[in-house]
Amino acid sequence: MRGSTRGAGCVLAAVAIVLVLALGVRAQSNETLRERALQLMAETPLIDGHNDLPWQLRKRFNNQLSKVDLNTLEGTHSNIPKIKEGKLSAQFWAAYVPCDSQYKDAVRQTLEQIDIIHRMCSKYPNDFMFATSTADIMTAFQQNKTASLIGVEGGHSIDSSLGTLRTMYQLGVRYMTLTHSCNTPWADNWLVDTGADPVEHHGLSPFGKQLILEMNRIGMLVDLAHVSEEVMNQVLDMSIAPVIFSHSSAYEVCKHKRNVPDSVLLKVKEKQGIVMINFYNDYVTCSKTATLSDVADHFDHIFKIGGPTIIGFGGDYDGVTRVPVGLEDVSKYPALVEELLRRNWSDEDIKAALGGNLLRVFRKVEEVRDSMKATLPDDLPIPLEEVENTCRTNDGYPTITGHAGISASHSPLALLIPLLIAAHLG
């Protein structure tokens, strides 16, 4: 009996040793993955496609940055300590204004959001560096600052004006989301695909097609987050430069119309563009709850369909009301990188997703811009009947009845569309 007890004790001791060793190996493995994630983020800039902190500053402080300290700001997904902890090397800050500003003061409000991003960089020069190019992103990365770029979220922000588009580019805007959650006079938004909004243009109007080529010409990234599937396909077919989805996820994983279907993912791959994955629970799991692992499922799916070259990060922090467990704020990016490593992503593929893909897309957009320097700006205005309303004056348009607008098909740049596309494909 005593021998039996002694034998049982030996077995228990052996089991305990195995458990301790297993736990030790697991802890070491997890620690190694975190260290490896941080090392990759030290070698390649993490570039996020969309953050709405500027909108939080408007809502909470009416853009009075003098009343805010971004080192101690609470109640937001983003502040400077969280940005540092999250190893966020470059951020496209959203210059967003709501759809109810369309036909009213959208341009003024957007300019004020552009201004607040400039002032953020001026107030915190040791933490933020204003950036407008791939070279700027790398300079900021080398200086351990967050490169701060501007994306205008919603085509209503330019009030159907190519001159306003160009002016915003001069102010540093480097992408424009063609629509938000409303149609513009020249493009349909994603709600068209749900039936909540009417189909107005079957994608892009003739002026919308003018605008895409003008964005190509000036070097502004075309952002297809928030647009209808028909717009996605039309832009991917006609744009000379690669395009982005600044904050969208995979439709096959969560069948929400804000996400990107597989057929479009294949076109993005062909066009050498990028889908920057959104963390909003409703787009991650189509429910109010989600986890970090659920977000990683979107990374895996887009990888499976389009490969590692079309993937990026587009958290949508401070623009959404629900974020996944494990990705509560911008400090949590390393945990997602760690999860991708746990799923056997290679170092090269993770570096591509962190920032390599966006840098490649951005460089190509810059190359297209430089190749079109000899092309004159498109100065054909949108036909008056497409924008006429009580809040808009008609100065400059012909006053003869029946001749309020000029056909967009007469645009010199629009006439070049077939030639430009043919040359690009060639």
The pLDDT tens digits along the chain (426 residues) read 444 444 545 444 444 444 434 444 444 466 799 999 999 999 999 999 999 999 999 999 999 999 999 999 999 999 999 999 999 999 999 999 999 999 999 999 999 999 999 999 999 999 999 999 999 999 999 999 999 999 999 999 999 999 999 999 999 999 999 999 999 999 999 999 999 999 999 999 999 999 999 999 999 999 999 999 999 999 999 999 999 999 999 999 999 999 999 999 999 999 999 999 999 999 999 999 999 999 999 999 999 999 999 999 999 999 999 999 999 999 999 999 999 999 999 999 999 999 999 999 999 999 999 999 999 999 999 999 999 999 999 999 987 544 344 444 445 555 555 555 555 545
DSSP secondary structure letter of residue 21 = H
Residue 23 lies in a domain: no
- Contact partners, residue 419, CB within 8 Å, separation at least 6: none
Confirm whether 311 is domain-assigned. yes
What are the CA-CA distances from residue 49 to residues 45, 309, 358 (Å)? 13, 15, 9
Dihedrals φ, ψ of 30, to 5°?
A: -65, -40
Report the pLDDT value the prediction gives residue 420, as an integer from 0 to 100. Answer: 56
Which pLDDT does position 411 carry in this prediction?
Answer: 56
User: Is 50 in the active site?
Assistant: yes
User: Which of the residues 77, 201, 226, 256 is marked catalytic?
Assistant: 226
Confirm whether 44 is domain-assigned: yes
Residue 226 annotated as catalytic: yes
> Tokens 């605008």 label which residue?
211
Domain contains 352: yes
Considering 50, 77, 201, 256, which one is annotated as catalytic? Answer: 50
CB 126 within 8 A of CB 71: no
3, part of any domain: no
Catalytic residue among 48, 52, 229, 294: 52
State the Cα–Cα distance between residues 311 and 308, nearest whole angstrom: 6
Domain assignment of residue 308, yes or no: yes
* Per-residue model confidence (pLDDT) at position 399: 75
How far is Cα 349 from Cα 31, in angstroms, rounded to an integer? 21
Q: Is 424 a catalytic residue?
A: no
Per-residue pLDDT at 402: 44
Q: Is residue 8 part of a domain?
A: no
What is the residue-wise DSSP string for 392-407? ---TTS--STT-SS--
What's the structural domain count of the chain? 1
pLDDT of residue 31: 73
The DSSP bridge pattern shows strands 311-313 and 274-277 to be: parallel
In a domain, 5, yes or no: no
Alpha helices per DSSP H over 146-276: 162-170, 206-218, 229-238, 262-271
Model pTM score = 0.89
CATH number of the domain where residue 126 is located:
3.20.20.140
Look up the domain containing 306 and give its range: 29-382+404-425
